[in-house]
Structure 1
Amino acid sequence: MRRRTFLTGTLLGTAITAVPSLATANAANSARIGAAEAGTVTVGSLAELQKAIDRAVPGDRIVLADGTYTVPSAGISVSGRNGTTSAPITIVAQSRGGAVLQGERSFVLANSSNIVISGFALRQRTTLEIPASCPRIRLTRNDLNFADVTGLDWVVVRGDDAKIDRNHFHDKTTQGIFLVVDGPGSTAMAQRLTVLRNHFSDHSYGGENGGEPIRLGVSARALSSANAVVEYNLFERCDGDPETVSVKSSDNTVRYNTVRDSRGGIVLRHGNRTTVAGNHLLGGGEGVRLYGNDHLVVNNYFGALTGRALVVGSGTTRDHHAGETTDERRGNDACDRAVIAHNTFVGNTRTLSGESRTYEPSDVVVADNILVSGSGTLVDLPQGSGFLWQGNILWGAAADGTLPNAGYRRVDPKLRLDTDGVHRLSADSPAIDTATLTSPAVTEDLDGHARAGARDVGADEYSTAAPVRRPLTTADVGPNAA
């Protein structure tokens, strides 16, 4: 199908000021027809951009020339535009970061779907929202550095099947969150969000709450399933909140991320059935904190954290439930039936700890982990009911702490420090082939190597092969990532 032809101001001006020869005109017409069939148009002003968006059909690619643009207060409207999953409508900067959008707002989305917004430097003063009426919106390869306004959340997602990938969110000193995920109404969650290969850096707000890089939900939405996947993201110097990834919804996956030199950690603050797998938490403050039920924490590496590496949380209530008051829902839900397995803890100030609220955690499995530290106490966890300890290895000058009489052995795991800062098993480690847990299945390790046959204790399955996954660096994430 032949696409419509968009005339930019530059082409129109050329047509008025020059009368080409017949051959030149035919060549120009052929070029324009080819461009129309390909669905690509380059525009050089916001007025032209708006006209192109208003006419866009599935498969069109609208390119904004590099430059700095002051967006009118109404924003750039993307309303009633619908691509398809195989032929989205793409709005893209000519070069990554080359088109700078400044002003009150940038793109304003409504009643649209399958839209890609790519490559812009966004410098706006209000929230960029993906509303519930806009499913399958993708924000990719953008540089986000909004005005440093107190309380401003930068991107808020309410639409289903959004993808936020390869962006850089950076430099905020005031209260406010880089990326918020909510949903329609007051209790539902946006479904199936993907947050992939983003770089979150330099949030220096000094308060105690409201400065997270990512918040998945809010207390009123805690029991709603989101099925979000947050993976392969790098968090650096994210000090605006004790929670770097704050999960306040159910049925999410947080995996393969690196949190480096940051105050906050991965906190399952509200909700149930979330998996935290294959993350590197390095040289910062907090590690992982658990509330709610039926979580899986597996294959994570905790290195040189100055706060609490892993907290099995107690609660002001046993379980959150429908019909709670607002104050009840804001309280902590005791951690029940979590599985904490195949993690490695090295050199943390506080390795495994608990809390002292009314309701203690219960029926938690702590299995096949390696805990190593040269000082302090490895386990400072009040013994809730029904805990199962098995197959763990403890080592170092740190005291064992509040462990049962079984479920661990004190033996040198013979870890070697690799050039990427991760301690892995040596060939003669007693952790090799000695894991005890049979369910749930753990089919690979922290590095992405298969766990076949008898599994090894800790996050690393011994291998002479190079890791498939390592701690992420800036080359792995952000606008120029693969």
Structure 2
Amino acid sequence: MRARRIIAASFANFAAVALQFACVLSMPVGAAEFLVNSAAQITTAMQAAQPGDTVVMTDGIWTNQRISFAGAGASGAPITLRPQTPGGVTLNGDSTLSISGDWLVADGLNFEGGALASGNIVEFRGSRGAATNSRLTNSAIVNYNPASIDTRYFWVSLYGASNRVDHNYFSGQSHSGVTVTVWRDTAAADNHQIDNNYFGDRPVGNGNGFETIRIGDSSQSLSDSFTVVENNVFERTNGEIETISNKSGSNIFRYNTFRDVAGTLTLRHGNNSLVEGNFFLGGGVSGSGGVRVIGEGQTIVNNYFNDLDGRSGGAISISAGVPNSALNAYYQVKNSVIAHNTIIDVNAAAITFDDGLGSSGRTLLAENVTIANNLIWSTQDPLFEGNQGAGWNWEGNIAYGQSLGPVAGNPGVTVANPMLALGSDGLYRPMASSPSIDAAAPGYSSLITTDMDGQPRVGLYDVGADEFSTATIVRKPLTKTDVGPSWLGGNVTPPGGGSRCGLTGCALQAERYASILDPDGDGAVWTVATVAEALGGAVLRAPDGDRVDLPTKLHDTIATYDLEFLTPGVYTAYYRGRGFGGSSDSFYAPTGFGVDPTQNKSLTANGLFDWTKDATTFTITASNIGVPLELRLAMREQMAELDALVLSLDSALTDAELDQLFAVVVGDYNGDGLVDAADYSVWRDSLGQSGVGIAADGDGNGVVDSSDYTVWSSAYASAVMSPSHGVSSPEPTAMALGALSITAVSLRRYRTLDSKTL
């Protein structure tokens, strides 16, 4: 390993060098930190920076700084650019950032109140060419606007390949130009990821060119980008009709939430994209819409649409096409699937079939479209509108509230009251008496295995986006506090999962799964049970029933876990569980990721929890880093209990060391090892919930209430309070009424990490 180094990057004075030296003393062996206070010093530092090094920007106001972050990190050891404290550097004037090279991370920057004449605020290209395997994270761009609405520039421009824009806050863009753009100069795959960001408050523009996200343009629209847009919040992003403008192929848009947005997710150009599990919550806003469908092979499944104005004629708007279409015109819709969506209260048709027919040369009707297992309940007449082309397939749909229009009498649409109930989360779901339960036409399990809540689809699927279920809800409509930078109170943990991964592995509470599957469809599945001896106070318990003997039987139930590793290497698996006799002392463990488990693993038979080391190892390569991987555990014998599991680079962990990985930091409700303002956000959003294993249940009584606030505030005060901070812990009432007004980033309590800590 490289020895610790002190780097002189033309620092201004002795005090700066002394501060840098203090930083270096606390660094791990083999890494260096460069303390800088200008764009010029960043350029100098990057000439010496090596994989694993960090360039630290001094906190304060940086004006008119054109930053070139160009270098070559490595998988598992990127070069990082960050402020001394997240959000502690405010870039304004005409400040910009270019990210150029390989394995680079820009973290915790705040662009606010500046303006450009042209170009990009952040672009993934520069002196070392287009960026690859690089990242903009935990950052913000706010109100970076010129005087004229017509001055056109872009906030974030993605070039290169395999880059990520995540956990950022974008708000207040009022001029021409796209907020986040994927540029495609060739037909090569991009493999970018845009996730867990907040996009907010973009006023209506004066024409085209005011998109929030655009992937590609017409010139490369018939090639595939393979970009994923997931777990983002769009709120009042009203710039134009195309809030998201998809202009390339094979992209995925999933688990995003659109609130009060006067626009649509538009599949404008390109083919074979997927729109899955999104929440379109229009709030009755004029111009609010859902999905516009153009092109071939588009799939729209498991989405929830509510209270939309029906822009482009419907919650789902299928476009008419142009014969021999130019790249920038309208390709005919062909071979699309629209299935298992729920559409409620649209001020237009629920689905329109021929939007734009007769205008701009659009004379071709959509062909070979499947409309299956959708649930529609609305009072706008008619519920369907337009003309169908050849080869349409209708099956399993339920529609209610008004006439069916052009599909009246179609046997693929049943008119019946869907018997929906409004939940405390503001979503409509089927009641136990709903005719939608077990009524879906079969044949769509290759497209979906869960519902909009992330609950498993079991047995015969239900019609619509929701599966009637008592399983834990692991996905939900997202809010501003669920995404964005941690220093703004956002959540750095993606929804769904329950894993905690660090440099040397992942530790998981078994009861914090991503989903529960029921392969044999008998309704008997893993459940969560309170157990005092468990590390987290709860376990995953197998159902009562017969032993599952593979391969003669199907799996009875499977629990899935989503993991993102930080370091390549060979990982050893450890499982903590127990049985109560010879008929409850085993389960099935996997031999790899994304595969059903087939290994018979033994547990104790005496009712005592114990750790079991697995002989099977899991190899993580550089290409796996930062990529969600699914681990599956399955029932073998009845009533077996799984408490926790660990995948570690250390193959010789003792039971005590494994237990220590699950040591609780009192008041740490988001599981990041810190007690800070983000934990208050988790408590606030969970207030009133009851059940087993809720993260914000600090006193363990099964209910999130004011006592759990007291647990957090006491831990927070003891961790960070000192006379110099001058910060007092707010009263619960004040906190519930307004945003937390403390600089939490400078007041965190960090856990002590050693070689045995994940």
Question: TM above 0.5, one fold?
Answer: yes
Q: Does 1:121 align with 2:119?
A: no
Describe the SS at the equivalent of 1:329: coil
Distance (whole Å) between structure 2 residues aligned to residue 244 and residue 42 of structure 1: 40
Check whether the contact 1:233–1:477 (CA below 8 A) recurs between aligned residues: yes
The equivalent residue for 1:269 is 268
Distance (whole Å) between structure 1 residues aligned to residue 7 and residue 329 of structure 2: 56
Deviations 1:282-337 (A, max 9, x none): 1141110101111111000000001221011110136x6xxxxxxx1111011111
Cα distance, 1:146–1:181 mapped onto 2, change above 3 Å: farther
Deviations 1:458-480 (A, max 9, x none): 00001123421110001111112
Structure with the larger RCO, 1 or 2 (CA within 8 Å, 6+ apart): 1
Q: How does 1:251-266 map to 2 (within 5 A)?
A: 251-266=250-265
Deviation, structure 1 residue 97 = 1.7
Distance (whole Å) between structure 2 residues aligned to residue 297 and residue 239 of structure 1: 22
Distance (whole Å) between structure 1 residues aligned to residue 33 and residue 345 of structure 2: 55
Q: Does 1:107 align with 2:113?
A: no
Q: How does 1:12-91 map to 2 (within 5 A)?
A: 13=14, 32=24, 35=27, 37=29, 39-41=31-33, 43-46=35-38, 47-72=40-65, 75-79=66-70, 81-91=71-81
The equivalent residue for 1:182 is 183
- Counterpart code for 1:101: L
Distance (whole Å) between structure 2 residues aligned to residue 332 and residue 201 of structure 1: 29
Deviation, structure 1 residue 400 = 1.2
Check whether the contact 1:189–1:217 (CA below 8 A) recurs between aligned residues: no
Describe the SS at the equivalent of 1:172: coil
Q: How does 1:96-175 map to 2 (within 5 A)?
A: 96-110=86-100, 112-123=101-112, 124=114, 125=116, 126-127=119-120, 128-131=122-125, 133-145=130-142, 147-149=144-146, 150-175=151-176
The equivalent residue for 2:421 is 416
Q: Does 1:289 align with 2:279?
A: no
Deviation, structure 1 residue 11 = 10
- Counterpart code for 1:104: D
Describe the SS at the equivalent of 2:346: coil
Deviation, structure 1 residue 174 = 1.9
Distance (whole Å) between structure 2 residues aligned to residue 109 and residue 281 of structure 1: 33
Distance (whole Å) between structure 2 residues aligned to residue 29 and residue 346 of structure 1: 61
The equivalent residue for 1:400 is 404
Distance (whole Å) between structure 2 residues aligned to residue 54 and residue 219 of structure 1: 38
Describe the SS at the equivalent of 1:37: coil
Cα distance, 1:278–1:419 mapped onto 2, change above 3 Å: same
Q: Does 1:303 align with 2:306?
A: yes
Cα distance, 1:41–1:16 mapped onto 2, change above 3 Å: closer
Check whether the contact 2:24–2:33 (CA below 8 A) recurs between aligned residues: no
- Counterpart code for 2:132: P
TM-score (norm 1): 0.90
Deviations 1:252-311 (A, max 9, x none): 000000011011111100000000000000114111010111111100000000122101
Q: How does 1:5-16 map to 2 (within 5 A)?
A: 5-7=6-8, 13=14
Check whether the contact 1:182–1:190 (CA below 8 A) recurs between aligned residues: no
C-alpha root-mean-square deviation of aligned residues, in Å?
A: 2.3
1:316 to 293, 314, 322: 322
Instruction: Give identity over the alignment, percent.
Output: 35
Distance (whole Å) between structure 1 residues aligned to residue 99 and residue 200 of structure 2: 26
- Counterpart code for 2:331: D
Deviation larger for 258-267 or 204-213: 204-213
Deviation, structure 1 residue 108 = 2.5
Deviation larger for 361-370 or 95-104: 95-104
Deviations 1:346-379 (A, max 9, x none): 0011211132131100000000000110232210
Question: Which runs of 5 or more structure 2 residues have no equivalent in the other structure?
Answer: 493-758
Check whether the contact 1:100–1:122 (CA below 8 A) recurs between aligned residues: yes
Describe the SS at the equivalent of 1:52: helix
Check whether the contact 1:197–1:232 (CA below 8 A) recurs between aligned residues: yes
Distance (whole Å) between structure 2 residues aligned to residue 220 and residue 33 of structure 1: 52
Deviation larger for 337-346 or 201-210: 201-210
The equivalent residue for 1:21 is none
Would you say how many aligned residue pairs link Structure 1 and Structure 2?
A: 457
The equivalent residue for 1:22 is none
Check whether the contact 2:340–2:372 (CA below 8 A) recurs between aligned residues: yes
Deviations 1:174-206 (A, max 9, x none): 22110110123xx43561010010000111133
Distance (whole Å) between structure 2 residues aligned to residue 466 and residue 218 of structure 1: 40
Distance (whole Å) between structure 2 residues aligned to residue 12 and residue 206 of structure 1: 48
Distance (whole Å) between structure 2 residues aligned to residue 331 and residue 291 of structure 1: 10
Deviations 1:28-64 (A, max 9, x none): 9898455373524262511443332221100012221
Deviation, structure 1 residue 148 = 1.5
The equivalent residue for 1:248 is 247
Cα distance, 1:234–1:29 mapped onto 2, change above 3 Å: closer
The equivalent residue for 1:447 is 453
Check whether the contact 2:318–2:333 (CA below 8 A) recurs between aligned residues: yes
The equivalent residue for 1:468 is 474
